[in-house]
Amino acid sequence: MAVDQISDMGMTTVLIGHSERRGEFGLPTPAESNALLATKLEYILEAGLTCVFCIGEPLPIREQGIDAVLAECVSQLQDIVPILKSLDDKSRVIIAYEPVWAIGTGVTASPEQAQETHKAIRDWIATAVDKKTADGIRIQYGGSANAANAPELSAMPDIDGFLVGGASLKPDIVDIVAALAKAKAVV
Protein backbone atom coordinates (compact mmCIF):
# COMPACT_ATOMS: atom_id res chain seq x y z
CA MET A 1 0.00 0.00 0.00
CA ALA A 2 1.35 3.45 -0.85
CA VAL A 3 2.05 6.04 1.84
CA ASP A 4 -0.42 8.44 0.21
CA GLN A 5 -3.15 5.81 0.37
CA ILE A 6 -2.37 5.11 4.02
CA SER A 7 -2.62 8.79 4.81
CA ASP A 8 -5.80 9.26 2.75
CA MET A 9 -7.43 6.42 4.70
CA GLY A 10 -6.74 8.24 7.96
CA MET A 11 -4.10 5.83 9.18
CA THR A 12 -1.25 7.37 11.13
CA THR A 13 1.34 4.62 11.55
CA VAL A 14 3.33 2.42 9.17
CA LEU A 15 5.39 -0.65 10.08
CA ILE A 16 8.54 -1.39 8.06
CA GLY A 17 11.54 -3.67 8.37
CA HIS A 18 9.72 -6.74 9.66
CA SER A 19 11.84 -9.86 9.33
CA GLU A 20 9.74 -11.30 6.50
CA ARG A 21 10.50 -8.19 4.45
CA ARG A 22 14.19 -8.36 5.38
CA GLY A 23 14.31 -11.87 3.91
CA GLU A 24 14.55 -13.87 7.13
CA PHE A 25 11.95 -16.45 6.16
CA GLY A 26 12.93 -17.08 2.54
CA LEU A 27 9.76 -15.65 1.03
CA PRO A 28 9.77 -15.35 -2.77
CA THR A 29 10.13 -11.57 -2.64
CA PRO A 30 13.36 -9.60 -2.74
CA ALA A 31 14.81 -8.81 0.69
CA GLU A 32 14.63 -5.15 1.62
CA SER A 33 18.02 -3.64 2.32
CA ASN A 34 18.83 -1.32 5.20
CA ALA A 35 19.35 1.49 2.68
CA LEU A 36 15.91 0.90 1.16
CA LEU A 37 14.31 0.90 4.61
CA ALA A 38 16.00 4.22 5.41
CA THR A 39 14.54 5.66 2.20
CA LYS A 40 11.10 4.32 3.11
CA LEU A 41 11.40 5.78 6.62
CA GLU A 42 12.25 9.20 5.22
CA TYR A 43 9.28 9.06 2.84
CA ILE A 44 6.92 7.96 5.63
CA LEU A 45 8.04 10.80 7.88
CA GLU A 46 7.81 13.36 5.06
CA ALA A 47 4.17 12.29 4.64
CA GLY A 48 3.54 13.15 8.29
CA LEU A 49 3.12 9.57 9.45
CA THR A 50 4.67 7.69 12.37
CA CYS A 51 6.86 4.66 11.68
CA VAL A 52 7.42 1.44 13.60
CA PHE A 53 10.91 0.39 12.46
CA CYS A 54 11.58 -3.32 13.10
CA ILE A 55 14.99 -4.75 13.87
CA GLY A 56 16.15 -8.08 15.25
CA GLU A 57 18.42 -11.08 14.97
CA PRO A 58 18.12 -14.78 14.07
CA LEU A 59 18.96 -17.49 16.60
CA PRO A 60 22.56 -18.15 15.43
CA ILE A 61 23.42 -14.52 16.20
CA ARG A 62 21.60 -14.59 19.57
CA GLU A 63 23.64 -17.66 20.51
CA GLN A 64 26.84 -15.62 20.04
CA GLY A 65 25.86 -13.23 22.84
CA ILE A 66 24.87 -9.62 23.34
CA ASP A 67 27.78 -8.12 21.40
CA ALA A 68 26.76 -10.03 18.27
CA VAL A 69 23.09 -9.15 18.81
CA LEU A 70 23.93 -5.46 19.16
CA ALA A 71 26.15 -5.56 16.07
CA GLU A 72 23.27 -7.02 14.06
CA CYS A 73 20.81 -4.44 15.38
CA VAL A 74 23.27 -1.60 14.74
CA SER A 75 23.73 -2.79 11.15
CA GLN A 76 19.95 -2.39 10.73
CA LEU A 77 19.86 1.05 12.38
CA GLN A 78 23.00 2.67 10.97
CA ASP A 79 21.35 4.01 7.80
CA ILE A 80 18.62 5.83 9.76
CA VAL A 81 20.99 7.75 12.05
CA PRO A 82 20.94 10.91 9.87
CA ILE A 83 17.13 10.76 9.80
CA LEU A 84 16.92 10.45 13.59
CA LYS A 85 19.39 13.31 14.02
CA SER A 86 17.33 15.65 11.85
CA LEU A 87 13.90 14.62 13.15
CA ASP A 88 12.38 17.20 15.51
CA ASP A 89 9.66 14.94 16.94
CA LYS A 90 11.48 11.76 17.96
CA SER A 91 8.19 10.11 18.94
CA ARG A 92 7.43 9.64 15.23
CA VAL A 93 9.89 6.73 15.06
CA ILE A 94 9.34 3.67 17.21
CA ILE A 95 11.96 0.93 17.24
CA ALA A 96 10.48 -2.57 17.49
CA TYR A 97 13.10 -5.05 18.63
CA GLU A 98 11.98 -8.47 17.41
CA PRO A 99 14.23 -11.42 18.04
CA VAL A 100 13.48 -13.33 14.85
CA TRP A 101 13.89 -16.63 16.67
CA ALA A 102 10.92 -15.73 18.89
CA ILE A 103 8.43 -14.47 16.30
CA GLY A 104 5.35 -16.66 16.30
CA THR A 105 7.18 -19.52 18.02
CA GLY A 106 5.80 -19.05 21.50
CA VAL A 107 9.43 -18.77 22.65
CA THR A 108 10.35 -15.42 24.09
CA ALA A 109 13.51 -13.78 25.30
CA SER A 110 13.75 -13.78 29.06
CA PRO A 111 12.94 -10.39 30.58
CA GLU A 112 16.65 -10.03 31.37
CA GLN A 113 17.68 -10.83 27.76
CA ALA A 114 15.13 -8.41 26.38
CA GLN A 115 16.17 -5.66 28.82
CA GLU A 116 19.85 -6.19 28.06
CA THR A 117 19.19 -5.85 24.34
CA HIS A 118 16.88 -2.84 24.67
CA LYS A 119 19.40 -1.07 26.90
CA ALA A 120 22.24 -1.82 24.49
CA ILE A 121 20.18 -0.38 21.61
CA ARG A 122 19.28 2.70 23.67
CA ASP A 123 22.92 3.21 24.70
CA TRP A 124 24.02 2.91 21.06
CA ILE A 125 21.40 5.48 19.99
CA ALA A 126 22.72 7.85 22.69
CA THR A 127 26.19 7.58 21.17
CA ALA A 128 25.26 7.49 17.46
CA VAL A 129 22.47 10.08 17.56
CA ASP A 130 22.21 11.85 20.94
CA LYS A 131 21.02 11.29 24.50
CA LYS A 132 17.75 13.18 23.97
CA THR A 133 16.78 10.80 21.17
CA ALA A 134 17.85 7.74 23.18
CA ASP A 135 15.80 8.89 26.16
CA GLY A 136 12.75 9.83 24.09
CA ILE A 137 12.51 7.10 21.49
CA ARG A 138 10.20 4.19 22.23
CA ILE A 139 11.72 0.74 21.93
CA GLN A 140 9.08 -1.95 21.86
CA TYR A 141 9.54 -5.68 22.33
CA GLY A 142 8.09 -7.86 19.58
CA GLY A 143 9.08 -11.44 20.34
CA SER A 144 6.00 -13.48 21.21
CA ALA A 145 4.68 -11.19 23.93
CA ASN A 146 1.64 -12.69 25.62
CA ALA A 147 -0.47 -12.35 28.75
CA ALA A 148 1.84 -14.67 30.72
CA ASN A 149 5.11 -12.83 30.02
CA ALA A 150 3.84 -9.26 29.62
CA PRO A 151 4.00 -8.33 33.34
CA GLU A 152 7.69 -9.26 33.69
CA LEU A 153 8.69 -7.78 30.34
CA SER A 154 6.74 -4.58 31.09
CA ALA A 155 8.64 -4.14 34.35
CA MET A 156 11.94 -3.76 32.48
CA PRO A 157 12.99 -0.08 32.34
CA ASP A 158 14.04 -0.02 28.67
CA ILE A 159 11.03 -1.92 27.29
CA ASP A 160 8.56 0.80 26.33
CA GLY A 161 5.80 -1.39 24.97
CA PHE A 162 5.04 -4.32 22.71
CA LEU A 163 4.58 -5.06 19.05
CA VAL A 164 2.04 -7.84 19.43
CA GLY A 165 1.38 -10.27 16.61
CA GLY A 166 -0.80 -13.36 16.99
CA ALA A 167 -1.69 -12.62 20.60
CA SER A 168 -3.43 -9.43 19.46
CA LEU A 169 -6.16 -11.61 17.98
CA LYS A 170 -6.88 -13.35 21.28
CA PRO A 171 -9.01 -12.11 24.18
CA ASP A 172 -5.98 -11.96 26.48
CA ILE A 173 -4.68 -8.92 24.57
CA VAL A 174 -6.54 -7.03 27.30
CA ASP A 175 -4.17 -8.59 29.87
CA ILE A 176 -1.10 -7.58 27.85
CA VAL A 177 -2.30 -3.98 27.66
CA ALA A 178 -3.21 -3.96 31.36
CA ALA A 179 0.22 -5.31 32.37
CA LEU A 180 1.97 -2.62 30.36
CA ALA A 181 -0.29 0.14 31.68
CA LYS A 182 0.30 -0.98 35.26
CA ALA A 183 4.09 -1.27 34.87
CA LYS A 184 4.47 2.07 33.11
CA ALA A 185 1.87 3.87 35.31
CA VAL A 186 -0.39 4.69 32.36
CA VAL A 187 -3.94 5.45 33.37
Catalytic-labelled residue, pool 18, 57, 72, 118: 18
Query: Which letter does DSSP use for residue 47 in this model?
Result: T
Beta carbons of 150 and 162 less than 8 angstroms apart? yes
Beta strands in 24-179 (DSSP E): 50-55, 93-97, 138-141
At 55, is the secondary structure helix, strand, or coil? Answer: strand
Spell out the SS3 assignment of 78-122.
Answer: HHHHHHHHHCCCHHHEEEEECCHHHCCCCCCCCHHHHHHHHHHHH
- Residue of 185, 164, 158 whose CA lies nearest to 176: 164
Taking residue 4's Cβ as centre, other Cβ atoms within 10 Å add up to 10
CB atoms within 10 A of CB 110: 11
N- to C-terminal Cα separation, the chain: 34
Active-site residue, selected from the candidate residues 57, 98, 116, 118: 98
Could you tell me the CA-to-CA distances from 88 to 50, 85, 122, 124, 133 in Å, in that order?
Answer: 13, 8, 18, 19, 10
Annotation says 18 is catalytic = yes
The set of catalytic residues is 18, 98
